Amino acid sequence: MTTDVAKPPDFDPSDIAFTIDPARPILTHGRVIETGRAVRPHSHPRGQLLWAMRGVLRVVSNSCIWLVPPSHAVWIPGGMKHQVTIEAEAELLNIYVDPSVTVRTPTRPMPCCAVLLLTPLARELIRRLGDSDTSAPFDERLLRFCAVLLDEVEGLTEAPLNLPGGQDERLVRVTRHLICHPEDPSQLPELGQIAGASPRTLERLFRSETGLSFRQWRSKLRLLSAIEALNRGESSTTIAFSMGYSSPSAFIAAFREAFGTTPQRFLNNGS
């Protein structure tokens, strides 16, 4: 595994993401990236399992946004254009899967990005492969490690950590603003001034392009932003009031309804 420290504001992905070699089904690359840095929008033939052992990632693809805490990894299929931004300084391990290998969930292929809850076994396998020299010819032992990891990935649970976007420029102006300022309490009449659209038009755009009402979309944004804040060490009380909840208990209830667990348990276990 190669390791480097990325300093430019935007940079290119590792060259190994573009290597096609069925004899080496998995290639690995480690990287430490500072807060606010980003990988330029790109695609590559190899599928990518991206795990931040520490830090928080924001992955954008096909007008959808995924926030990925250390308890999870994101699967990015080969050929899918995406961009990765670091929300909190991250130590990354990339697993690049040759296009000759099909990666599936238990019920379907994974043709789009998915945030997956890592098991202890998956984490250890990723670490072990990250410590291996995947630039040399693979021996039988390394091939077995690859097969076990891919089998484990196919059984991982997908987490609802995505936020749907849209294509209409009026909607994009609003969603971009709110993503940068999730605590903004503005309602559709005020946001319409940013969009150049009426409140009714904006509500229609949210429903038609994201499948969610404006209220639902903003609630999900705030919960995803809360995950980032939790990983930065902020308390549930601080997050609750900064995100506009009436009380910490209201925030915890909303978090539990969305993710099936409390904020602290999610932070500790990812489930």
Prediction pTM value: 0.72
Range of the domain at 186: 166-269
> Is 136 or 148 the better-scoring residue by pLDDT?
148
Separation CA 116–CA 49 (nearest Å):
9
What is the count of structural domains for the chain? 2
Average pLDDT of span 189-213: 95
CATH of the domain at 242: 1.10.10.60
> Is 45 or 135 the better-scoring residue by pLDDT?
45
Span 14-23, pLDDT tens digits: 899 999 999 9
Residues 120 and 90 in one domain: yes
From the list 62, 82, 60, 58, the residue with the least C-alpha distance to 72 is 58
Separation CA 112–CA 55 (nearest Å):
23
CATH of the domain at 17: 2.60.120.280
Residues 221 and 116 in one domain: no
Residues 19 and 84 in one domain: yes
Letter string b/e over residues 189-213, b meaning 16 or more CB atoms within 10 A of that residue's CB: eebbeebebeeebbbebbeebbebe
Q: What are phi and psi of 46, to 5 degrees?
A: -80, 140
User: Which region among 108-117, 121-130, 223-232, 256-265 has the lowest average model confidence (pLDDT)?
Assistant: 108-117
Number of Cβ atoms within 10 Å of the Cβ of 36: 11
What percent of the chain has pLDDT above 90?
49
The confidence score (pLDDT) of residue 134 equals 82
Structure tokens at 110: 């994974």
Span 50-96, pLDDT tens digits: 999 988 788 888 767 887 878 889 999 999 999 998 877 889 999 99
Residues 214 and 256 in one domain: yes
